[in-house]
Structure 1
Amino acid sequence: MNRSIASGVFSVVSSKVIVLAITTLSTPILYRFLGASAFGEYAFLLSVFAIYMIFVSSGITDGVRKFLAEDRNAANWSEHVVGFYFRLAVVLAVVGALLLVVAAQFGLVALAFGEGLTIYFYVLAALVVTAQFRDYARKTLMGFGLERYSEPLKVLDKVGFVAVAIPLVYAGAGVMGALAGHLFASVLVAAVGLVIVHRRVSLSCVFSRPTARFPRTELLTFNSLSIVLVFLLMSLYHIDIVMLQRFAESSAVGNYRAALTLAEFLWFVPLALQTVYVHSTSELWSQNRHRKITDLASRTTRYTFLLTAVMAVGLAALADIVVPLYFGAEAEPAIEPLLLLLPGALGFALARPILAVSQGNGTLRYPIAATGTAAVINVVLNAILIPRYGMHGAAVATSIGYGTMFAFHCWSARLVGFDPLADARFGRVILTTALAAVPIVALSTALSGPWLALAVVPPIGFLIYLIFALLVGALDPAEPFEILAVFPEPIGSRAESIRSRLETRLGGETSRNWVQHLLFVAGLSLLLSGLALGVLDGGV
């Protein structure tokens, strides 16, 4: 991973960590203030809105960051791209908002979702406009490679939402108060973001028409295919919520949404990679650097698998502690759906960076076919399982749908022109996960007291997992420091120095074998300790 891509990833990951922390604190507060039933209505409305916004904004946000990143040798290319997508954003936002108002006014919303939800769609209509320009501003900045500005805007969006929504919900405004928080935050971020864009490229370009040589057809074709791709992708996120609302009580929807919220914590690094790779790999594709792309994609697959697998093992081990502490005792029914969702969430995490690299190529028919196949499987299984098994059926169906994304996108990637498994070391990562899971689960079971388990299991579990990863060769000894080398000073330079020394000292096979023998002893002792802890706990 070169430093420019790494710096973008670091900016995105940093913001996602902050957003994750804010979300971690605010979500259970909203759940408690709203209650399971109202929280279920709120989750349902956001799912409907997210699906609707695919047709309003997805082609614009993907297109503006891809084509700005290409920086073609054409006069005023950036100005023409910014202006073209701004005009398109205005038209689609106005049409999208008006359609929602008409649907609410003439009873279509009441017919589809019930009279009680109609009032909320007027707020969603306003949110269509503000969210459109919030996302346009952020993705435009990303297209310019300005993640240092676009990502703090995401933090501002979350802070603005929490600052307004939590007090309103606490005061009794309910779901309307939560939606008002989204409306305020999107207005704030859109205003600040457009000011920053204007400093880079004057927004007066909105009123200037590009020349006849400007590739409007290419941009619109990419937009149309992006809408199809994002629709299929987002259906995997939201179709289970929409279908569950039809067949189950709102409290079940709320608890299922709680389980999804925790499962989706596995995605924050893969989502950051996906966010950056679309526009970063566009440049590599334009230079025909296929070997570089394969190396980047396959190592990313391996690192993503390692990171999300250890998170999944830890979350599974602590599920019966985390869910009631995080959401309250009312959410205990979410524990089993969470465990069912984790395997699929891991597969979806692996698929996301691969999809982003494919998008960077611009050839979307194979990613669309891969995502569409997974989406069809997801819809069919949800339709079969939800009526009979409720939220447990939704969890199984969604987990299978998520998991198939990885297999289908590996196939798609090869057709696009890169191999995401070239250096993935898939068998070794699976072995690492299986070996490390034993002491991690045993440790979480043996510790008495939920707070002690939450304090001890994550850091010790990560250390155990890292040792096994080095033991079986899923990670080379120098690779952790290679990753740390892209961090800001003073971490970066010190990690680079350690990495260089390790590569020099461990370059020989004898030295490498000596290290692996040492790690084998440490790993075996950890495994035996885990088994002993499990036996002792069972005896007690």
Structure 2
Amino acid sequence: MNRSIASGVFSVVSSKIIVLAITTLSTPLLYRFLGASAFGEYAFLLSVFAIYMIFVSSGITDGVRKFLAEDRTAANWSEHVVGFYFRLAVILAVTGALLLVVAAQFGLVALAFGEELTIYFYALAVLVVTAQFRDYARKTLMGFGLERYSEPLKVLDKVGFVVVAIPLVYAGYGVMGALAGHLFASAIVAVVGLVFVHRRISLSCVFSQPTMRFPRTELLTFNSMSIVLVFLLMSLYHIDIVMLQRFAASSDVGNYRAALTLAEFLWFVPLALQTVYVHSTSELWSNNRHRKITALASRTTRYTFLLTAVMAVGLASLADVVVPIYFGAEAEPAITPLLLLLPGALGFALARPILAVSQGNGTLRYPIAATGAAAAINVVLNAVLIPRYGMHGAAIATSIGYATMFAFHCWSARLVGFDPLADARFGRVILTTVLAAVPIVALSTALSGPWLALTIVPPIGFVIFLTFALLVGALDPTEPFEVLAAFPDPIGSRAESIHGWLEKRFGGKATRNWGQRVLFVAGLSLLVSGLVLGVLDGSIY
């Protein structure tokens, strides 16, 4: 990972951590103030809106950041790309908003979703416009490599939402109060973001027409393919919510959404990587650096697997503690769906960076086929399992659909022209996860107090997992510092010096024989588990 890509990832991850912290605090408040049923309606509306916005926004946001990042020699290329996509954004936003108003006014919304939800679609119509330019501004900045501006805007969006929505919901304005928070936040971010874009390139380019040589057909083709891809991708996110709303009570939808919220915490780093890799790898593809792309993708797959696996193990071991504390006792039915969703969430996390690298290539037919296969499996399984098993059926179906994303996108990647498994060390990572899970689960089981478990298990579990990863060889001793060395100073310089020392000490390789390492670590896992249980139940003093 070179320094420019790492800097982008660092900016995105930093903002996502802040957004995650704000979301962690605000989501349980919304759940409590709205109640399970109203929270279910709110989640349903956001799912419908997200699917709708695919056709309004996704081709624009993916296109503007991809084509701005490409190193083309055409005169005024950046100005023409910014202007072209701005004009398209205006047309699609106005059309999308009017269609929602017409659907609400003439009873189509009431026919499809019920009379009680109609009023909310007028608010969603306004949100179409503000969200369109919020996303256009952020993705344009990312296309210029200005994550240091685009990512704080995401934090501003979340803060603006919380500042407005939480008081309104608490005051009794319910779902409409939450939607008002989204409207306020997206409008503020759109205005500020467009100001930043204007500082980089004057928005007067909106009024200048590019020459006939400007590749409009190429851009529009990419847009249409991106819409198909994002629609299939977002169906994996939202089709379960939409179908569950039809077959189950709103309280079940709310509890299932709560389970999804916790499972999606596993994705914040993979989503950051996906956000940066689309435009960052576009430049690598344009320069035909295939070996660099394979090395980047395969190591990213391994690091993502390691990081997401330790989070999944920790969350699974603490599920019966986290859910009631986070959402309240009313949300205890969400525990089982959460456990069912975690394996699939892990697979989906692995697929996201691979998909981003494929998107950077611009050849979308294979990623579309891979995502379409996973989406079809997801829809069929949800249709079969939800009517019979409710939210548990939705969790099983969605988890399987998520998991197949990884398998299908590994196939897609090889057809596109890179191998995401070249340095993935899958066997070693799986072995690390299994062996580390034993003492981590033992520790969480032995601790009696919920707050004590939340305090002790995450840091101790991470150390246990990291130790096993190094011993098994899933991670070389030098690699954590090699990654950090690519980040901005002072982190980069300090990590680089440590990395140099470790390179001299270990030569970048683990030193134990593979068979000896496996036996040693398996024995260590059992020993640590026994000691944990023995000390905590009082049999060892």
For the aligned pair, the TM-score class normalised by the smaller chain equals over 0.9
Query: Which residue is equivalent to 2:417?
Result: 417
Moved more, 213-222 or 522-531: 522-531
Secondary structure at the residue paired with 1:488? coil
Residue 205 (1) aligns with residue 205 (2):
yes
Displacement after TM superposition at 1:352 (Å): 0.2
DSSP-derived class of the 1:79 partner: helix
Q: Within the alignment, does 1:352 sit opposite 2:352 as a pair?
A: yes
Rounded Cα–Cα distance in structure 1 between residues aligned with 2:176 and 2:320:
32
Deviations 1:60-81 (A, max 9, x none): 0000000000031010000000
1:311-364 CA-to-partner distances (Å, cap 9, x unmatched) read 000000000000000000000000000000000000000000000000000000
Correspondence 1:67-466 to 2 at 5 A: 67-466=67-466
Structure 1 CA distance for aligned equivalents of residues 425 and 520 of structure 2: 22
**Letter of the structure 2 residue corresponding to residue 292 of structure 1:** K
| Cα drift, residue 533 of structure 1 | 3.6
Shift of 1:514: 9.5
How far did residue 535 of structure 1 move? Answer: 6.8
Alpha-carbon shift at residue 506 of structure 1 (Å): 1.2
Q: Is the 8 A contact 1:436 1:464 kept in 2?
A: yes
Task: Encode CA deviations 1:178-230: one digit per residue, 9 max, x unaligned.
Answer: 00000000000000000000000000000000000000000000000000000
Give the superposition deviation at 1:536: 7.5
| Structure 1 unaligned residues grouped into runs of 5+ | none
- Partner Cα separation in structure 1 for residue 253 and residue 171 of structure 2: 24
- Report deviation, 1:483: 1.8
Distance, in Å, in 2 between the alignment partners of 1:514 and 1:228 is 48
In structure 1, the partner of 2:512 is 513
In the other structure, the counterpart of 1:55 is: 55
Name the counterpart of 2:32: 32
Aligned-residue offset at 1:516: 11
1:137-183 C-alpha deviation (Å, 9 max, x unpaired): 00000000000000000000000000000000000000000000000
The one-letter amino acid paired with 2:324 is P
Structure 1 residue 498: Cα displacement: 1.0
Aligned AA (1:464)? I
After superposition, what is the alpha-carbon deviation per residue over 1:505-533, rounded to whole angstroms, capped at 9, x for unaligned? 21297x82399989986774453121344
Q: Are the counterparts in 2 of residues 436 and 465 from structure 1 also a CA contact under 8 Å?
A: yes
Query: SS of the residue aligned with 1:212?
Result: coil
TM-score using structure 2 length: 0.97
Distance across 2 between alignment mates of 1:399 and 1:513 = 36
**Maintained 8 Å contact 1:464/1:526:** no
CA deviations over 1:285-316 (Å, ceiling 9, x no partner): 00000000000000000000000000000000
RMSD: 1.8
TM-score (norm 1): 0.97
2:216 and 2:115 mapped to 1: Cα distance? 42
User: Contact 1:358–1:416 (CA<8 Å) still a contact in 2?
Assistant: yes
Q: How far apart, CA to CA, are the structure 2 residues paired with 1:382 and 1:298?
A: 32
Give the secondary structure class of the aligned counterpart of 1:145. Answer: coil
In 1, Cα distance between the equivalents of 2:176 and 2:435? 48
2:491 corresponds in structure 1 to: 491
Please tell me whether the aligned partners of residues 472 and 514 of structure 2 are also in contact (alpha carbons under 8 angstroms): no
Judge conservation of contact 1:80–1:205 (CA < 8 Å) in 2.
yes
Q: Distance in 1 between matches of 2:352 and 2:136?
A: 21
* Structure 2, unaligned runs of 5 or more: none
**For residues 289 and 20 of structure 1, what CA distance do their matches in structure 2 show?**
34
Deviation at 1:489, TM superposition (A): 2.9
Q: 1:515 to 1:411 in 2, by over 3 A?
A: closer
Q: Give the superposition deviation at 1:534.
A: 4.4
Alpha carbons of 1:535 and 1:374: their partners in 2 closer, same or farther (altered >3 Å)?
farther
**Aligned-partner SS, 2:73:** coil
1:527 aligns with 2:526: yes
Partner letter of residue 476 of structure 1?
D
Q: 1:486, CA displacement in angstroms?
A: 2.8
Contact kept in structure 2, 1:71 and 1:77, CA below 8 Å: no
Aligned residues: 539
- Deviating above 4 A after TM superposition, structure 1's stretches of 4 or more consecutive aligned residues are 514-523, 534-540
Task: Report the residue type matching 1:417 in the other structure.
Answer: G
CA contact (8 A) 1:471 1:520 kept: no
